[in-house]
Structure 1
Amino acid sequence: MTVTEQFATREAVRPAPAAQATVTDAAARPRPVGPGPLAVLADAGLEVPVLGGGFVRHVNLDVAASAPALEVVAQQVTRVLPYYASVHRGSGYPSQLSTSLVEDARLAVARHVGARDDDLVVFTRNTTDALNLLAGAVPGDTVVLDLEHHANLLPWRSRRLVEGRATIAATLEALDAELARTPAALLSVTGASNVTGEVLPIDRLAEIAHAHGARIAVDAAQLLPHRRVDVAASGIDYLAFSGHKAYAPFGAGALVGRADWLDAAPAYLAGGGAVDAVRVDGVDWKHGVERHEAGTPNVIGAVALARALAELERLGDDARHDHEQALTRRLHEGLAAQRGVRVLSGFGDEQGDGLGDRLGIATIELERGSVGLLAAALGAEHGISVRAGRFCAHPFFERTATRANGLRASLGAGSSADDVDRFLDALATLIADGPAHAYDRSPEGWCPRVDDRPRPDFAADFALA
């Protein structure tokens, strides 16, 4: 049966290989020469069940969506939890300690991103939350690119969109022309595409924005976990990022930036902690971070985020960059050798090894067949996590792709050469032979027709008797 028939029929046409054999083969195969994991993650060594029985080591290539916790982050959370309490107004020792932990975390975040002394660090839920907060403070138009994640495309009340050009250089010229044509208050751009991993020149973008009297906000959700960002040195006015992409998936993110717009904006949430005084006929709102952090803050999330950033610093910027770049080359070279696969790219500025400046992200489309089915089979039959879709970046995806959806593999500090090779081997097998099991398409996506994978005991803890 051809590749087209395999993916078009969505039926199993050959007996499934024993999952135990998969485990044996993987264990027997010599470990490839190349970069190993750089960081110790809480999910290191995790084994997941596969269809037909048996377990395999999990390969996490969905890091761009959510990264696992660093082991030191999980340990820190465990240490802090017994002391968790309400903050700022409690008289007891746990409350005072929790208050101190949040404020220390705020200082640690500011230092890690090179914030100016008078910048605010507002803790949020994630990047989307941070950019929505900022959107309520911008006193005028916001200019964005079409390559943005929806988190940096949808919040702005007055948005002017510039379509990316064939190269980054030409795109910068288009942004320059747009800001010169009509003044804007803010240029808001991603630091790196979550679809292709291509990194934008933030310093140059800041220069363009400031030359036209605009400020610049950077969506660093993808960039910050992989590259060091320096707010002051790069001329960034506002920086937004998420803990769950930076190895601290405990529900905290941050907006870092200039205070004046935030102090002049309405409180992001109306509630306790954001006010100096409440009267029957009015409210006196606080200034600074408290103005936008009403309610009980996510103490654990803030602590986890600060601890994760400290650990990334300990690993070293150069070590992380070299590690991920070696794996990125391995991934892209392997994909280039695959038949029936096209790797998406937004720009033609490639230099040297042909990758340009790119994070460890590769999104592919198939010449024929369903990437959704392919992603499901990678997970269910090979224990490899990837993502299929348009990655909450629909305009950019539609400009760069020729098919309706893509499949994204993304690397991180815990990725290894073996992870990349496992993925490339499984991808080649599935494209050549098709899935070993039958799958059905549901509103939630492709799923095995018969899923015999057991769930861990804790997954049933909340089930009704």
Structure 2
Amino acid sequence: MSTPVVVQSSSPSNQASAFGSSPLLSPANYPDSVRPFADVIGAELITPLAGGGEVRYANLDYAASAPALTEVAAYLNEVLPYYASVHRGAGYASQVSTSLYENARGIVREFVGARPDDEVIFTRNTTDSLNLLASSVPGSGEVLYLDIEHHANLLPWQARPHRSVVAARTLAETLERVRAWLKAGEISLVAVTGASNITGEILPITELAALAHEHGARIAVDAAQLAPHRRIDVAGAGIDYLAFSGHKLYAPFGAGILVGRRDWLDEGRPHLAGGGAVREVRLDSVAWADGPARHEAGSPNVLGAATLAKAAQVISSLDESAWHRHEQQLRSALVDGLSTIEGVTVHRLFEDSDLGASTASRGAVGIVNFSIAGHDAGLTAAYLSAEHGVGLRDGRFCAHPALRRLGLPSGSLRASFGLGSRLDDVERLVAGVRELVERGLRLDYRIDAGRWVPAQDGRPFPVWAPNTPGTAGAAPCVAED
């Protein structure tokens, strides 16, 4: 354990804060966002407060891992008795599980509007998908990526010829920078995020795809944040490769997806060497399989694939305009509320992002990034959790170059929300930030294993999840893949 660094509270009061009389967050202004848009597991979770009492948990960390949809959980219980080995089992349960697993590919293909001959490969997460693709890009052509990318869409390309492009202050100028590099270099692939995991801003994927194709390159889209918030049309947008994660798409069990053109994938090095990825094996040689099997060696994550596909079906059934309106109202309510608090800055990557838009190709998804002058982000996050029951993310979000670009080398705060979010979650966050700025901390805090925690916490963990000292600061980017 590290040497404690204690911050003393500036207010002895232990009374719950109230948002006050500001009209910004009144239900009349945001009528569709008062209730969740869809039912999720844990929506009514009651959590203890460090100062005593308890409150419904306000989950504003959807961008890391979204809660499971209740329909997905019910589906899991329905199929779980049939869970068995796949592809080579003769038993009835094995045949059912094989059908479940393979049918999930077709559901995902339809969900993202993929081409009929595109491969759909199940992986562990978006990071895994992009690493798989990185080993399949042929030749010595460069991969071009922006400096705003999540590490999952930055680090895999560094092991091969690559070109990192510093994004401009506007999307329009950034497109021109990409165009210039495409003209100047031997670019094989443009790798770009669909929506920023820092600010939620949506990038112009269709335009970037057209630029790439105009200069003989392909495009890969990290859709980890886009897929849970917007409908995607791979064929219509001209996307060659698309990657996203089930754990951000309201599905448990950590399955990921890579969808894309089969020629590179069928010629690429198998992602894992092992059973199921082969046609024939001899003691000193192997003939690898083609298609998804080439990259899915070992026993697959059948339930992860099945629940991801079910989540895709549920999301596909949503009223798109009402869904986007609900999210945009929550985002506007949060930005409006934070803008009334002295010292709070809401951050954006591009000056010309139309943050008020809510279409598939414009605007921003349910992510808001902000900082508070004079207040450490990690301490603020710990305070919001301990004293207000609000869960959000602090740090550099596995996007260190982008945070340096924003002038936030030590990190900031990120609130993210989705189908199960409600206006009360936003109100509680704004009230907590306002109280911090106007009245200060109610409790004392210290650093434990690199993370701020209440000096006297007292919040019990469930008996099946003991609170092990020193785990709070471990693996700071694990949940961001």
Same fold (TM over 0.5): yes
Match of 1:50 in 2: 49
1:278 aligns with 2:281: yes
1-structure distance, mates of 2:403, 2:55: 32
What amino acid does structure 2 have at the position aligned with 1:144?
Y
**Structure 1 residue aligned with 2:429, among 423, 429, 445?**
423
2-structure distance, mates of 1:86, 1:241: 25
**Structure 2 residue aligned with 1:433, among 426, 432, 439?**
439
Match of 1:337 in 2: 340
Is contact 1:192-1:222 (8 Å) kept? yes
2-structure distance, mates of 1:341, 1:88: 55
Q: What CA RMSD, in Å, does the superposition of the two structures yield over aligned residues?
A: 2.1
Match of 1:201 in 2: 204
2-structure distance, mates of 1:461, 1:252: 27
**Structure 1 residue aligned with 2:12, among 11, 15, 22?**
15
What amino acid does structure 2 have at the position aligned with 1:105?
A
TM-fit CA distance, 1:138: 0.7
Identify the range of structure 1 (144-153 vs 275-284) with the bigger mean alpha-carbon deviation: 275-284
Match of 1:144 in 2: 145
TM-score (norm 2): 0.90
1:393 aligns with 2:396: no
TM-fit CA distance, 1:387: 0.7
Match of 1:176 in 2: 179
Q: Deviations over 1:108-146 (max 9, x none)?
A: 000100010100000001000000000000123100000
Match of 1:189 in 2: 192
1-structure distance, mates of 2:453, 2:355: 41
What amino acid does structure 2 have at the position aligned with 1:222?
Q
Q: Deviations over 1:204-260 (max 9, x none)?
A: 000000001000000000001000011000000000000011101211010000000
* 3-state secondary structure, aligned to 1:454: coil
* 3-state secondary structure, aligned to 1:188: strand
Is contact 2:63-2:225 (8 Å) kept? yes
What amino acid does structure 1 have at the position aligned with 2:223?
A
Q: Deviations over 1:28-48 (max 9, x none)?
A: xx9844312101001111111
2-structure distance, mates of 1:329, 1:375: 21
TM-score (norm 1): 0.93
Is contact 2:328-2:356 (8 Å) kept? no
TM-fit CA distance, 1:428: 0.5
What amino acid does structure 2 have at the position aligned with 1:420?
V
Alignment of 1:156-167 (within 5 A): 156=157, 157-167=160-170
Match of 2:128 in 1: 129
Identify the range of structure 1 (432-441 vs 375-384) with the bigger mean alpha-carbon deviation: 432-441
Match of 1:327 in 2: 330
Match of 1:381 in 2: 387
Unaligned 5+ segments in structure 1 are: 1-7
1-structure distance, mates of 2:101, 2:355: 44
Instruction: Classify 1:354/1:207 alpha carbon distance in 2 versus 1 (closer, same or farther; 3 Å).
Output: closer
2-structure distance, mates of 1:270, 1:95: 23
Alignment of 1:5-404 (within 5 A): 10-17=7-14, 32-33=27-28, 34=30, 35=33, 36-139=35-138, 140-156=141-157, 157-351=160-354, 353=356, 357-402=363-408, 404=410
TM-fit CA distance, 1:55: 1.2
Identify the range of structure 1 (200-209 vs 334-343) with the bigger mean alpha-carbon deviation: 334-343
* 3-state secondary structure, aligned to 2:371: strand
2-structure distance, mates of 1:268, 1:297: 13
Instruction: Classify 1:352/1:407 alpha carbon distance in 2 versus 1 (closer, same or farther; 3 Å).
Output: closer
What amino acid does structure 1 have at the position aligned with 2:61?
D
1-structure distance, mates of 2:437, 2:267: 56
* 3-state secondary structure, aligned to 2:247: coil
What amino acid does structure 1 have at the position aligned with 2:337?
G
Q: Deviations over 1:250-283 (max 9, x none)?
A: 1101000000001101110000000111012310
How many residue pairs align between the two structures?
Answer: 449
Instruction: Classify 1:106/1:169 alpha carbon distance in 2 versus 1 (closer, same or farther; 3 Å).
Output: same
2-structure distance, mates of 1:461, 1:16: 27
Is contact 2:355-2:364 (8 Å) kept? no
* 3-state secondary structure, aligned to 2:465: helix
Is contact 1:127-1:240 (8 Å) kept? yes
Is contact 1:183-1:212 (8 Å) kept? no
* 3-state secondary structure, aligned to 1:173: helix
TM-fit CA distance, 1:328: 1.1
Is contact 1:16-1:52 (8 Å) kept? no
2-structure distance, mates of 1:199, 1:141: 24
Q: Deviations over 1:307-359 (max 9, x none)?
A: 10111112222221111111111111112111111111111104485997111
* 3-state secondary structure, aligned to 1:250: coil
Is contact 1:31-1:418 (8 Å) kept? no
1-structure distance, mates of 2:130, 2:70: 29
Instruction: Classify 1:444/1:95 alpha carbon distance in 2 versus 1 (closer, same or farther; 3 Å).
Output: farther
How many percent of aligned residue pairs carry the same amino acid? 52
2-structure distance, mates of 1:223, 1:354: 14
1-structure distance, mates of 2:11, 2:326: 39
2-structure distance, mates of 1:340, 1:99: 56
TM-fit CA distance, 1:16: 4.6
